[in-house]
Structure 1
Amino acid sequence: MSHTHELPAAAAWSAPVRAGRTVRLTALGDNANASVLIVGADRLDRLNIPDTLKSQMSARIKPGMVLMSDRGQALATVLDSTLDWHDCLTGALPGRLLLLELTKHGFGEADLHGCINFFSKVAVSDSASLEFVPGHATAGDSVTLRADQDLLIFISTTPHALSDLPGAGVAVQIETPEHTEDPELREEAQRALRLTRELIA
């Protein structure tokens, strides 16, 4: 199974993704931004950015990380990426397009929780504020996730909230690979994967 969908800049899309399938996001232009929300198909597990970062000792999303839910389950694993930094500290503001996608699945404004801004990077300025780093992502950059349970994925290509640059489109490719290897993971991430696999076995 393989499906590719191209989102233009300032658009949104959502899709169910079965466990074991991979989702590859590819920037179609410079300074692309893909704000991504992830929810377990059972609607009980939601992407929890604080727990994901704290348990894996990071302030960014990068290859070799498990995206965790608020119940400590593995939602998806970042298998690889051409970039070693994806922002997850600034959320998706404005979140109008993501909210429109959420409502299609029966969610509301309260479900617009913390997300990942794939292809974007922020840094702390001398005044201790977060600043967008231009030129971080260029056309062709990509990131691949593996769904570790059945998921609903929501994607918006609205430019990053801190950027004054025009955005770019993103291609989304969903595939069913024959096999995927776990990347090198921290112990906490391995534990989340084991728990999830036991529950869905």
Structure 2
Amino acid sequence: MYEHTLSPGAKWSEKIAAGKQVTLRAEGDGANVSALLYAAAHPFAERYNMPDTLKAQHTSHLTAEHQLMSDNGRTMAVLTHDSVGWHDPIGGYSTREAVNTHYGTTSYQDHLNDWLRCGEENLQVELFRHGLTARDLVPNINFFSKVQVQEDGKMQFVPGHSRTGDEVTFVTEMDVILILSNTPHPFDPAETYPSQPVTLTVADAPASEKPEPLGENKRARENTAAYHELQRKNKEVLA
């Protein structure tokens, strides 16, 4: 098992193989982790797709038994356990301008490691490490945060949605690049920069952890299985 704690403002990314169980645990109230997923084999051509994920599952939030789908119609990961009940897929990530306006202007030159990071910059840095660029930024997931849409169409952030010890777990269906940024939700009204560490663990996934898919979820899972079978046959031919 691999374990790593993201301190407030920290970023992290790595390739994670299919069949792994990834758990995020909030070490403080009101945590937020912005996340992106890309297909490890071809990140330029396939990545997490928010519109398809929500449309196919008729939802505006993510929780246990929901699938994270790619823009190629495949299942990248399946949420298996969730103590929070609602994770935001529509609020986006924090920007430098927003962080400066909300929490005050800081810089590394003036504040060293105490300067206040934003989600956009963190995600871009991790993209660069995998050969991607800012053009590859897509709508992210905000784990541990809740944004609900009112009848008039306005989006409302729910403060204090998650609590210390809350966890969300997903199982990877394909090899992915996972990118994380422990930075404030862009809608968070807190007057001070949030400071909740989040612990990441990666382990082998039990075979029984994934729920049985239905409808569009089943088709996406079948597409992923067909992709793996094609890759296996290609390797046999090349060998």
TM interval, shorter chain, is over 0.9
If the length of structure 2 is used for normalisation, what is the TM-score? 0.80
Q: 1:175 aligns with which of 168, 192, 203?
A: 203
Q: Distance in 2 between matches of 1:68 and 1:177?
A: 19
Greater strand fraction, Structure 1 or Structure 2: 1
- State the percentage of identical aligned residues: 37
Q: Distance in 1 between matches of 2:228 and 2:201?
A: 24
Q: What secondary structure is seen at the aligned counterpart in 1 of 2:223?
A: helix
**Would the alpha carbon gap of residues 128 and 57 (structure 1) be closer, same or farther in structure 2, given more than 3 Å must change?**
closer
Question: In the alignment, what sits opposite 1:34?
Answer: 33
Q: CA deviation at 1:67?
A: 0.5
Listed as ranges, the gaps of 5+ residues in structure 2 are 96-119, 230-239
Q: What secondary structure is seen at the aligned counterpart in 2 of 1:179?
A: coil
Asked if 1:89 corresponds to 2:117, the answer is no
Q: Distance in 2 between matches of 1:199 and 1:124?
A: 36
Q: CA deviation at 1:140?
A: 0.5
Q: What secondary structure is seen at the aligned counterpart in 2 of 1:38?
A: strand
- Asked if 1 retains the 8 angstrom alpha-carbon contact of 2:30 and 2:160, the reply is yes
Equivalent position amino acid for 2:13 in 1 = S
- Asked if 1 retains the 8 angstrom alpha-carbon contact of 2:94 and 2:184, the reply is no
Greater helix fraction, Structure 1 or Structure 2: 2
Listed as ranges, the gaps of 5+ residues in structure 1 are none
Question: In the alignment, what sits opposite 2:4?
Answer: 5
- Asked if 1 retains the 8 angstrom alpha-carbon contact of 2:13 and 2:179, the reply is yes
CA RMSD of aligned residues (A): 1.4
Q: What secondary structure is seen at the aligned counterpart in 2 of 1:188?
A: helix
* Deviation per residue, 1:113-167 (Å, 9 max, x gap): 1110000001235764212101110110010010100000000010100003324
Question: In the alignment, what sits opposite 2:228?
Answer: 200
Q: Which has the larger radius of gyration?
A: 2
Question: In the alignment, what sits opposite 1:69?
Answer: 70
- Spell out the pairing of 1:15-164 with structure 2 (5 A cutoff): 15-42=14-41, 43=43, 44-94=45-95, 95-125=120-150, 128-164=153-189
